[in-house]
């Protein structure tokens, strides 16, 4: 397989590339990444000399670069996205450009070059908030933030290329990821690193917002599974089955780092903060995939990784 991965220097993309090169040593992987603030070459320092791995610095909105690389690929896994909700509230323009126009550029090039399978990586946030029950893949999209709206737009574009042009697209929607190499603006790495720096952890509102959490390697294995066994034109929800309130997560992190609740600082809630996300993942589990990692064990491993790898994150927070 000749695989083009976009956003492969990011948190999930880099973990995915590492997983694929280990599991499939014969696969060739091209990583197209713009190297934005969250695209970190250190994430793949250990595999940069692998003969089956090629890194190309470039923008997914650049049709010349994209078309040139698409000639060399038969499968695409599209992770590249602006993904931080708070940043999208401050300035949505880069989210619309990267997540919508960038996805269009990739889909158009994939169609021109007869790509065999195009996996579009999306998010549970496109569904919006749900008080009770869980979203299934056919539910209406009601995104709340500029970030999730831009992702919903890219989902619909990807779906339209399947319906109109028969481009072999599959869409995945995953819950909150955590694990090594996550940029320290997201909740879990931010809180771990803040405590290690003896800084308070900012909890929005009451901390009662609920998210489902999945260890990043489980997400990577789900995408791998769908790449090989998923059906063209389908949408698959991916979740870890570990719904937690933000304050629960916060207290577990503080406990693991042996500090008390005085480190918590409750701050004003962000605009449009969805109360609860929840996905029904039975469509994927019926195919034979399920998460392998226990939440508490994976969180303990993640905390340990940030404790032992200050070299990786300290320069990112300066």
Which of the residues are catalytic? Answer: 124-125, 147
Say whether 254 sits in a helix, a strand or coil. helix
Compute φ and ψ for 2, nearest 5 degrees: -110, 110
Q: Say how many CA atoms lie within 13 Å of 251 toward its Cβ.
A: 7
Separation CA 61–CA 70 (nearest Å): 13
| Beta-bridge partner residues of 276 | 210
Separation CA 207–CA 304 (nearest Å): 24
CA distances to 21, 57, 107, 306 from 103, rounded to whole Å, are 25, 17, 6, 32
- Which candidate, 88, 79, 17, places its Cα nearest to that of 50? 17
Separation CA 142–CA 147 (nearest Å): 12
Quick one: CA torsion of 148, 107, 32, 51, rounded to 10 degrees? 130
Separation CA 199–CA 193 (nearest Å): 8
- List the beta strands (DSSP E) in 39-197: 53-57, 75-78, 117-123, 169-174, 176-178
Q: Taking the mean position of all CA atoms in its chain, how far away is CA 237? A: 13
């Amino acid at each position: 397989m000749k695989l083009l991965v976009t956003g492969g220097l990011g948190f999930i993309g880099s973990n995915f590339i590492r997983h694929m090169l280990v599991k499939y040593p014969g696969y060739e992987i091209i990583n197209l990444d713009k190297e934005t603030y969250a695209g970190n070459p250190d994430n793949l320092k250990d595999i940069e000399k692998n003969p089956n791995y090629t890194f190309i610095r470039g923008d997914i909105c650049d049709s010349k670069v994209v078309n040139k690389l698409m000639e060399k690929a038969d499968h695409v896994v599209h992770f590249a996205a602006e993904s931080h909700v708070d940043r999208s509230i401050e300035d949505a323009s880069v989210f619309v450009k990267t997540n919508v126009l960038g996805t269009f550029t990739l889909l158009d090039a994939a169609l021109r070059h007869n790509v065999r399978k195009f996996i579009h990586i999306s998010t549970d946030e496109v569904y919006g908030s749900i008080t009770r029950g869980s979203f299934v893949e056919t539910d209406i999209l009601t995104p709340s933030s500029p970030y999730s709206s831009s992702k919903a737009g890219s989902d619909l574009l990807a779906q339209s290329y399947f319906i109109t042009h028969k481009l072999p697209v599959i869409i995945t929607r995953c819950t909150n990821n955590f694990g090594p190499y996550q940029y320290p603006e997201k909740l879990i790495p931010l809180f771990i690193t803040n405590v290690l720096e003896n800084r308070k952890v900012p909890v929005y509102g009451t901390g009662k917002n609920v998210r489902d959490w999945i260890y990043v390697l489980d997400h990577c294995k789900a995408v791998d599974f769908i790449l090989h066994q998923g059906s063209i034109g389908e949408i698959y929800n991916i979740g870890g089955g570990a719904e937690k309130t933000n304050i629960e997560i916060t207290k577990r992190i503080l406990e693991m780092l042996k500090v008390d609740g005085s480190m918590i600082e409750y701050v004003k809630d962000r605009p449009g903060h969805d109360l609860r996300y929840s996905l029904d993942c039975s469509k994927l589990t019926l195919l034979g995939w399920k998460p392998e990692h226990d939440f508490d064990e994976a969180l303990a491993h993640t905390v340990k990784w940030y404790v032992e790898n200050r070299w990786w994150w300290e320069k990112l927070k300066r």
